[in-house]
A and B are shown apart, each in its own frame.
Chain A
């Protein structure tokens, strides 16, 4: 219903000057007090009215312009020597010193100074004025009171003009002051000719320019620092080769694998293995192979595994791998996430490829982009794919034990916090970073930060759990610092997290058992009914039959619905008295 008021004005009067006139006061409305209304009010005796006479102030945050800083050192050189003394010549300096020591004023002042100094030294030795009382109690975390926040520390921008996606990040294992970021355009055939292949290592103290460039012959898709030797990095390239760099030796890769022996598709993940020599790594790619390499001899892989569930061993039926997982505490097992949403748990010790693949976990609808084990409870692992993140337990193979709800944007990467067992992070294609704390809220993220407008592709947490880096589609790596409540271990957290995982796995096991029971019952029932309905034995129906059957079922369902609705309509239309009589009749009977 529109309330309209129609004005009319002569056209000649448009734009004419407004002539205001005065007129006497007119009483429009007079509402007299109604004492009867007062009865519905109670008089309140004490009214607390806070009044504050203070300036109205508002708080704003802005970012200042980027300040270009450079760290430089200063060389100290001796100075202050009088003109006749050459500071380099030791004879002259010692002579000067001896001369000074003989002066009267020197002796006098030094005696005074000496006694003054002794007094202070003895004071220091007597009592430590900076003694920390109650040192243990400081560990009590009071910061759980404050809401979780994330603060952007630095934004590392890709210095090239043509922006590429920051596909993978790797923190320097020693202290995490350096970050290696690999850049590559992952969209099929979208890479232009001028796009540079370089990837960079950034030093966090100098975020304006990369510290070192890595120059491969093909853009790097994934990078990993060797946890044992901090100067060595392994990288997987877009053309399927695997290379390794030594930062002491320069920007060119020390060695690259031979193209014929490498992957046929971009290498999506490269991880270093735990070995005595510290030179083993393995790589996975969407061509369906997982290859093991020894970097001392990159001419051919030491081992090959084809991810074929049907165990035929050919590349045709293989599932392309998009992520790998390896945990140093479980060196014989590793997991691969595939393009079709399956997670394959494999055993390194298997002799034949069939033995290698130990179990599969299905449940995702799209390629699995990240697979990470919980650093505290390695039996549980997180998988990030399509629009959902799932947590699985190794024992429960049928379904995941916990999962987030389906999001609006696709998830691109995820990882656990290294310091808290119940916290994990996920990044989405709409540029948001979600922090999930499973002990606090399971339905939605504890903290959701919009990092940038473009999609986020990769995420890595530094080992101290405080700082995380996320890489975006336009090549910017943003460093975020999360509030201490989210990264410091709470009381009982380990026990609670463990309990939660156990409880969820138990629940899933029970559900699994029940499903199995139901399935057995179904099978039992269908076995009995086989003689009566031979149709059930037909496993294959032609597509037309299927379509016809589906149509018939559909129309049957509609008909039954319609009939039900008509019945309800009739019931409503009958006069109420008859219904009441019916009800009364029912009650009586």
Chain B
């Protein structure tokens, strides 16, 4: 429990990180540093995207699996680390 907190705190303290969301396999946000409506939106949209990405990767090669997903936009970068049951979503503003 404490390790999780520590990990999240470390991530939060990195430069440019705007928010962290932890979503479970059903799309329910477990933990978040953003406000509720934004969280719900991110959780819903990204969940679908990750599932689609994963199925794409596995379709191409069944032995393969999705390890990381990065979406870079003009304003920020959304990074998703998927797991069997949980996703970790981090929104970072790449400083340049």
Residues of A within 8 A of B (CB): 76-82, 96-97, 100-102, 105-107, 109-118, 120-122, 124-125, 128, 130-131
Q: Which residues of B contact A105 (CB under 8 A)?
A: 85
* Contact, CB under 8 Å: B14 / A125: yes
The main secondary structure of chain A at its interface with chain B is helix
Chain B: CB-nearest residue to A98:
B30
Q: Which residues of B contact A130 (CB under 8 A)?
A: 72
Q: What is the CA–CA distance of A105 and B83 in the complex, to the nearest angstrom?
A: 11
Interface centre among B30, B31, B77 (most CB of A within 10 A): B30
Q: Which residues of A contact B16 (CB under 8 A)?
A: 121, 124-125
Check A114/B15 contact, CB under 8 A, given A78-B40, A79-B27, A101-B1: no
Of residues 1 to 22 in B, which have CB atoms within 8 Å of A's CB atoms? 1, 3-4, 7-8, 10-11, 14-17, 22
| Of the residues A77, A80, A112, A124, contact of B92 by C-beta under 8 Å | A124
B87 vs chain A, min Cβ distance (A): 8
* Contact, CB under 8 Å: A110 / B7: yes
* Contact, CB under 8 Å: A121 / B11: yes
* Contact, CB under 8 Å: B24 / A118: no
A355 vs chain B, min Cβ distance (A): 56
* Contact, CB under 8 Å: A106 / B86: yes
Q: Which residues of A contact B96 (CB under 8 A)?
A: 128, 131
B25 vs chain A, min Cβ distance (A): 9
Q: What is the CA–CA distance of A124 and B92 in the complex, to the nearest angstrom?
A: 9
B96 vs chain A, min Cβ distance (A): 4
B57 vs chain A, min Cβ distance (A): 16
**Given contacts A79-B44, A115-B7, A124-B94, could you give 20 more A-B pairs where the C-beta distance is less than 8 Å?**
A76-B37, A76-B44, A77-B40, A78-B28, A81-B28, A82-B26, A101-B31, A102-B1, A106-B85, A107-B1, A107-B4, A110-B22, A111-B3, A111-B7, A113-B83, A114-B8, A114-B10, A114-B11, A120-B70, A121-B17
Chain B: CB-nearest residue to A118:
B11
Of residues 35 to 52 in B, which have CB atoms within 8 Å of A's CB atoms? 37, 40-41, 44
Chain A: CB-nearest residue to B32:
A97
A357 vs chain B, min Cβ distance (A): 54
The main secondary structure of chain B at its interface with chain A is mixed
Check A97/B31 contact, CB under 8 A, given A107-B3, A116-B68: yes
Q: Which residues of B contact A125 (CB under 8 A)?
A: 14-16, 94-95
Report the contact-size class of chain B (Cβ under 8 Å from the partner).
35 or more
Of residues 68 to 93 in B, which have CB atoms within 8 Å of A's CB atoms? 68, 70, 72, 77, 79, 81, 83-86, 88, 90, 92
Q: What is the CA–CA distance of A386 and B63 in the complex, to the nearest angstrom?
A: 76
Q: Which residues of B contact A106 (CB under 8 A)?
A: 4, 30, 85-86
Check A109/B11 contact, CB under 8 A, given A79-B27, A80-B26, A116-B81: no
A150 vs chain B, min Cβ distance (A): 29
Q: What is the CA–CA distance of A109 and B17 in the complex, to the nearest angstrom?
A: 21
B36 vs chain A, min Cβ distance (A): 9
| Of the residues B27, B40, B70, B84, contact of A109 by C-beta under 8 Å | B84
Q: Which residues of B contact A120 (CB under 8 A)?
A: 68, 70, 79, 81
Q: Which residues of B contact A111 (CB under 8 A)?
A: 3-4, 7
Q: What is the CA–CA distance of A81 and B28 in the complex, to the nearest angstrom?
A: 7
* Contact, CB under 8 Å: B88 / A118: no
Chain A: CB-nearest residue to B26:
A80
Q: What is the CA–CA distance of A349 and B77 in the complex, to the nearest angstrom?
A: 58
Q: Which residues of B contact A110 (CB under 8 A)?
A: 4, 7, 22, 86, 88
A205 vs chain B, min Cβ distance (A): 20
Q: What is the CA–CA distance of A113 and B3 in the complex, to the nearest angstrom?
A: 12
Q: Which residues of B contact A118 (CB under 8 A)?
A: 7, 10-11, 14
Interface centre among A77, A118, A131 (most CB of B within 10 A): A118
Chain B: CB-nearest residue to A117:
B81
Chain A: CB-nearest residue to B41:
A76
* Contact, CB under 8 Å: A117 / B31: no
| Of the residues B44, B79, B94, B95, contact of A117 by C-beta under 8 Å | B79
Q: Which residues of B contact A122 (CB under 8 A)?
A: 14
Q: Which residues of A contact B40 (CB under 8 A)?
A: 76-78
* Contact, CB under 8 Å: B86 / A117: no
